Amino acid sequence: MKAAAATLMLGGALLLAGCGNSPLLPDKSVQLATNASVKLSTLINVAAAAAAIYYVYDPLAPNWEIEEQPLNDNTYRLSLKMKRFHTGGAGESLQVLKRRAGVLQETKGYQSYQIVEYSEGIDSQTLGARRVAEGVVRLVKQEAADSFLQN
């Protein structure tokens, strides 16, 4: 969806800049300094390309998308997907899962949580692979006596 919108934006900018004999915008120059100028069509193309890259990459979006599914009153399945284009954060899926489990623990009024299952891998798709992770978290009212189950 984002890629289609970025393509439309870039195509619209190319139309406005004029890819033919009769451009919609006049091909004037923008004076940057006394001896430096840039054509308006070039400026629009660069701005459109930058906007499209920013829209697809979205540097302010979180690296991981979390889907939460309650299995019963105190057990949740957390499915994580990493965004396609990123600049790091590939090894932080367990941290993200623990952070979300901690938030669930606090908001639901439990004393702790246990990670019952955890797996991570790569989901190959047409437009590129994505890191994925999945875990089952059980919220606990009292501390479990078995230290092996502690996080």
110-125 pLDDT per residue, tens? 999 999 999 998 888 7
Residues 52, 84 share a domain: no
Residues 33, 98 share a domain: no
Counted domains in the chain:
2
Residues 87, 125 share a domain: yes
Across 101-105, average pLDDT? 93
Across 28-39, average pLDDT? 73
Mean pLDDT of the chain: 76
CATH code (residue 106): 3.30.1360
Provide the pLDDT for residue 77: 97
Q: Go through 133-149 and write b for each residue having 16 or more CB atoms within 10 A of its CB, e for each that does not.
A: bbbbbbbeeeeeeeeee
Residues 143, 89 share a domain: yes
Residues 80, 51 share a domain: no
Domain range holding 22?
2-57
Q: What is the CA radius of gyration of the chain?
A: 24
Residues 138, 98 share a domain: yes
Whether 55 contacts 9, CB under 8 Å: yes
Residues 138, 70 share a domain: yes
Whole-prediction pTM: 0.57
Residues 129, 79 share a domain: yes
Provide the pLDDT for residue 98: 93
pLDDT band for position 71 (cuts 50, 70, 90): very high
